[in-house]
Structure 1
Amino acid sequence: MGTQVSDAEYVTSLQARVKELEAENANLSSRLAHCHCSQADHISYGPDYKDTKVTELKISNGESQRKIRKKPGYNTGFLSHHSKRYVALKVMYFGKRFYGFSAEAQMEPSVESEIFKALKTTRLLVGDKKESQYSRCGRTDKGVSSVGQVIALFLRSKLKASGINNGSSEEFVFEEKHEGELDYVRVINRELPNDIRVLGWCPVPVDFHARFSCLSREYKYFFWNENLNTLAMKTAGTKLLGEHDFRNFCKMDAANVHTYMRCISMFEISPTDVSYDGNQLWVIKFRGRAFLWHQVRCMVAVLFLVGQGLESPDVIDILLDTNRIPRKPQYVMASEAPLVLQSCEFENLKFMCSPDSGKALRAHLVNECQIYQLETAIFREAILNCVPQLHDQSLPPNQGSKKKGSHIPLLSRPTEPSYEERRAKLSSCT
């Protein structure tokens, strides 16, 4: 019985304490409502501002203090009164761990999502992605890398605004001047992951579009020679030059693409200065104004078949003749890993990078190269340690050797539906 009385008293004391805390909370809320300290959140954030902020509050009895750490992130809306300018950014990324460049596929991580995280963290983004008038030059697939991707969007500017947009409150910096401007390369790179870097920035007119203003795009595809007939590959590759219907050299998107005419303005195949264990690294270069979905990987796949002696160079001419071959033969695309979006060319676009940012950028890339070289050294040690096993006389003959499957000529393989068949199916579904 005595225990029950004690519990009741304890509950009563807790209830009294709750009332005291509620009163204390109301008192603090009232004081904060009349405090002007919150206006500090509306300062013009500089490039060195950090995401985390510590605020100290004193308890009314004066005996203790506590620190409240502000969580990362911010509302981009309150920056709308700042000057902003339309800029193009040149971006490189190593695509191995990304599900492509675009964030629209909703597969994470993507290069685009990482870039926008950095822009929000650095408070360079004014408004949301849609309001920034964002555009991208290329939409590389999963695993594909780039050293010349270009995007364009409005970013906060440090310069005084020089124009008003149709009488609205948004102030734009229109001039191409850049003295005294934010060091976009340094600011953004500080928040990006190690496998993404901004290489330069350039002011562009508001009617600039990273995709539609692009004059040409160049891709590189690296491969180990491994006894490929590169002369036959060159003969076949030159047949791709010029304007052709490339529907047999792409992944068809009949719902959104209605013409498959594209122009290849440059094709080259040449050795690099890199070799390993007697095997030379080569590179194929393609340049054109625009490319179809998976076009480069499909062209390279057919060139490899030619290089292996499994197909004649003339197979290129046959596949380009869509009247003769209206349905694409089924074949496996070349791997995405060696593909690089090398450059995107624009008229009168010169990307800038401050000396300090350039030095830091170079140091970062050199460090990344050294990391991968160390990994290469480790794998090389593994190869050297397994060599005695390869020469073990106790192993049965041909153990571990892989039988080569018989090659089915491209023109004898099953085919995919034609464009007309795909369109008819789409029409029947609507």
Structure 2
Amino acid sequence: MSHHSKRYVALKVTYFGKRFYGFASEAQMEPTVESELFKAFEKTRLLVGDKKESQYSRCGRTDKGVSSVGQVIALFLRSNLKISATNNGNSGVVLDEQHEGEIDYVGVLNRVLPNDIRIMGWCPAPVDFHARFSCLSREYKYFFWKENLNIPAIEVAGNKLVGEHDFRNFCKMDAANVHNYRRCITLFEISSTDVRYNDNQLWVIKIRGSAFLWHQVRCMVAVLFMVGKGLESPNVIDMLLDTSRILRKPQYTMASEVPLVLQSCEFDNIKFMCSSDAGEALRVHLVNECQIYQLQAAIFHEALLNCVPLSNDQSLLPFQGSKKKVSHVPLMSRPTEPSYEERRAKLNTIA
């Protein structure tokens, strides 16, 4: 039995998802963000007991390649504080909100975490806090290059997603575990950023909701891009949301995971903090990471400037198979996936 006092703590986590097989360690593939976090907890000896005993919870289970600047987890960690006399029999648990003299969780963990994961802040949490079920809302951002996309059309279509709807045609259906596909989107915004490359500008879609289905954001963005390319009308959103008429999801490819970012998770009475030393070290680290990526971009740009000029005589070029332009099949004319009822019936026959 541990003689250390412990306290229940919420941690705000940022990570660059490119090299990870998702956030959750149950993915059966390594590395995951979660497995790296627990390596850090063990290395710093902050973990009290094992993962199950730590009462661990996470807010969002982001997929392979998805990043976050606002993921939230909660668990019991070792504490420097002495036990209050009024802790109602919670042996070894610090229950008050005092933080003076406490372990610098942000600084300690960031010193051992890999460069693409950082703790942004910590907050004392009540022992009944749950990072997933206590969350009031989640916000995602999806970055994209404007190119020839029709932004006003995307905005019209995106605003149709706001409100409470059945989003079964905008997700990867998990009929074994999920039986309610109604979710509430509270915000849709689309705006330009100050980032440009040549004549192309980086834009961002912001979507906020109480909760999201599996791959919901990437499915919504995929359909919005079809609208932006003029391949579908904004009214296709209305049709896909009308699950009394469209019982089966048309087959379409999700938008890429790389530009997707879990931006923030909102809670009542959770205010993240960070010591001045840890905060300064965090800023230095993030600036350095930005500069590394800008250096890489400069090298790729230099390579682009040094490409061999294309010859007008096509006979001098190596043979390239003719690339057929893929014609767009309207969503409502495509093959469909099985409906929820069909999936459940199949599961019942297997059982």
> Same fold, TM exceeding 0.5?
yes
2:309 aligns with one of 389, 392, 401: 389
Report the count of equivalent residues: 349
Instruction: Determine the C-alpha separation between the residues in 2 that align with 1:403 and 1:141.
Output: 32
Structure with higher RCO (Cα < 8 A, 6+ apart)? 2
The alpha-carbon deviation at position 397 of structure 1 amounts to 11
The alpha-carbon deviation at position 382 of structure 1 amounts to 1.1
The alpha-carbon deviation at position 183 of structure 1 amounts to 0.2
Kindly indicate whether the alpha-carbon contact (under 8 Å) linking 1:163 and 1:174 is maintained by their aligned counterparts in 2.
no
| Cα pair distance change 1:238/1:209, threshold 3 Å | same
Please list every run of 5 or more consecutive structure 1 residues that lacks an aligned counterpart in the other structure. 1-77
Indicate the residue corresponding to 1:121 in structure 2.
43
- 2:8 is the counterpart of 1:89: no
- 2:286 is the counterpart of 1:359: no
Kindly indicate whether the alpha-carbon contact (under 8 Å) linking 1:146 and 1:342 is maintained by their aligned counterparts in 2.
yes
Q: How does 1:53-92 map to 2 (within 5 A)?
A: 80-92=2-14
Indicate the residue corresponding to 2:60 in structure 1.
138
Indicate the residue corresponding to 2:345 in structure 1.
424
Instruction: Determine the C-alpha separation between the residues in 1 that align with 2:183 and 2:230.
Output: 27
Q: Give secondary structure in 2 for the equivalent of 1:329.
A: coil
Kindly indicate whether the alpha-carbon contact (under 8 Å) linking 1:244 and 1:261 is maintained by their aligned counterparts in 2.
yes
Indicate the residue corresponding to 2:21 in structure 1.
99
Kindly indicate whether the alpha-carbon contact (under 8 Å) linking 2:9 and 2:125 is maintained by their aligned counterparts in 1.
yes
- 2:290 is the counterpart of 1:369: yes
Instruction: Determine the C-alpha separation between the residues in 1 that align with 2:86 and 2:139.
Output: 37
The alpha-carbon deviation at position 404 of structure 1 amounts to 2.1
Instruction: Determine the C-alpha separation between the residues in 1 that align with 2:86 and 2:50.
Output: 20
Post-superposition CA distance 1:178-228 (Å, at most 9, x none): 000000000001110000000000001000000000000000000001110
1:152 aligns with one of 63, 74, 77: 74
- Aligned AA (1:373): Q
The alpha-carbon deviation at position 167 of structure 1 amounts to 4.7
Instruction: Determine the C-alpha separation between the residues in 2 that align with 1:412 and 1:352.
Output: 52
- Aligned AA (2:278): S
Q: Give secondary structure in 1 for the equivalent of 2:39.
A: helix
The alpha-carbon deviation at position 161 of structure 1 amounts to 1.1
Q: How does 1:308-319 map to 2 (within 5 A)?
A: 308-319=229-240
- 2:83 is the counterpart of 1:161: yes
Q: Give secondary structure in 2 for the equivalent of 1:223.
A: strand
The alpha-carbon deviation at position 389 of structure 1 amounts to 2.1
* Sequence identity percentage: 77
Please list every run of 5 or more consecutive structure 2 residues that lacks an aligned counterpart in the other structure. none
| Cα pair distance change 1:141/1:230, threshold 3 Å | same
- 2:126 is the counterpart of 1:194: no
Kindly indicate whether the alpha-carbon contact (under 8 Å) linking 2:87 and 2:95 is maintained by their aligned counterparts in 1.
no
Instruction: Determine the C-alpha separation between the residues in 2 that align with 1:362 and 1:403.
Output: 48
- Aligned AA (1:383): L
1:411 aligns with one of 329, 332, 343: 332
Instruction: Determine the C-alpha separation between the residues in 1 that align with 2:153 and 2:315.
Output: 37
The alpha-carbon deviation at position 396 of structure 1 amounts to 5.4
The alpha-carbon deviation at position 165 of structure 1 amounts to 7.3
The alpha-carbon deviation at position 282 of structure 1 amounts to 0.4
Post-superposition CA distance 1:293-332 (Å, at most 9, x none): 0000000000000000000000000000001100000000
Q: Give secondary structure in 1 for the equivalent of 2:306.
A: helix
Indicate the residue corresponding to 1:278 in structure 2.
199
Indicate the residue corresponding to 1:47 in structure 2.
none
Post-superposition CA distance 1:257-280 (Å, at most 9, x none): 000000000000111010101100
Kindly indicate whether the alpha-carbon contact (under 8 Å) linking 2:248 and 2:336 is maintained by their aligned counterparts in 1.
yes
* RMSD (Å) for aligned C-alpha atoms: 1.6
- 2:274 is the counterpart of 1:344: no
**Structure possessing the higher radius of gyration over alpha carbons:** 1
Q: What TM-score do the two structures reach when normalised by structure 2?
A: 0.97
Q: Give secondary structure in 2 for the equivalent of 1:81.
A: coil
Instruction: Determine the C-alpha separation between the residues in 2 that align with 1:323 and 1:85.
Output: 49
Indicate the residue corresponding to 1:295 in structure 2.
216
Q: Give secondary structure in 1 for the equivalent of 2:270.
A: coil
- Aligned AA (1:150): V
Kindly indicate whether the alpha-carbon contact (under 8 Å) linking 2:195 and 2:201 is maintained by their aligned counterparts in 1.
yes
- Aligned AA (2:273): M
Q: How does 1:196-235 map to 2 (within 5 A)?
A: 196-235=117-156
Q: Deviation above 6 Å: which 4+ runs of structure 1?
A: 397-401
- Aligned AA (1:313): P
| Structure with greater helix share of residues | 1
The alpha-carbon deviation at position 105 of structure 1 amounts to 1.4
Kindly indicate whether the alpha-carbon contact (under 8 Å) linking 1:216 and 1:289 is maintained by their aligned counterparts in 2.
yes
Q: Give secondary structure in 1 for the equivalent of 2:247.
A: coil
Indicate the residue corresponding to 1:10 in structure 2.
none
- Aligned AA (2:82): K
